[in-house]
Amino acid sequence: MFPGRKFAAFLFDMDGTVLNSIAAAERVWTKWARHLGLDVASFLPTIHGKRAIETIAALKLPGVDPVVEADALLKAEAADLEGIVPIPGAVAFLKSLPPERWAIVTSAPRELALLRMAAAGIPV
């Protein structure tokens, strides 16, 4: 793909690149959406790739504090790590790289990213 090119470091997105946590995230968000009476099928596609607080704030729900709700969702997501798996080949590939030459960049809070990486067996 890049013959003859050298790279100093690599940045990887987390979900869908090195691991898959969609099932866990969607379980938590589905429960939250149902509690608020949202249409789950149309709501779920809006949660991926951005911070929870942004997703919640965009809904402009009366009486809903995005900061409080995002914190509650973070705690719920941190408690639900079932089914988080590495993308095939990701662990071996990352272990083949010098550890100081790659990093994960994600919209997930650091605490949640570290928990999901551990659940998937992704080295830190």
CA 5 – CA 79 distance, rounded (Å): 42
**What pLDDT is stored for residue 49 in this prediction?**
86
Lowest mean pLDDT among 3-7, 16-20, 33-37, 40-44: 3-7
CA 97 – CA 91 distance, rounded (Å): 10
Helix 22-35 vs helix 66-79: crossing angle, to nearest 10: 140
**What pLDDT is stored for residue 28 in this prediction?**
97
Q: Under a CB-based contact definition with an 8 Å cutoff, are residues 109 and 74 in contact?
A: yes
Residues labelled as active-site residues: 13, 15
The domain ranges of the chain are 1-21+83-124, 23-82
Q: Which CATH architecture best describes the domain 1-21+83-124? A: 3-Layer(aba) Sandwich (3.40)
Q: Under a CB-based contact definition with an 8 Å cutoff, are residues 27 and 80 in contact?
A: yes
Q: Is the pLDDT of residue 1 over 80?
A: no
**What pLDDT is stored for residue 2 in this prediction?**
80
Q: Cβ neighbours of residue 29 under 8 Å, at least 6 residues apart? A: 43, 44, 47, 73
- Quickly tell me which residue has 């790739």 as its tokens: 49
> Residues 33-65: pLDDT tens digits?
999 999 999 999 999 889 999 999 999 999 999
> Residues 66-106: pLDDT tens digits?
999 999 999 999 999 999 999 999 999 999 999 999 999 99
Q: What is the pTM of this model?
A: 0.87
Long-range contacts of 26-34 (CB under 8 A, 24+ apart): 27/80, 28/73, 28/76, 28/77, 28/80, 29/73, 31/76, 32/69, 32/72, 32/73, 32/76
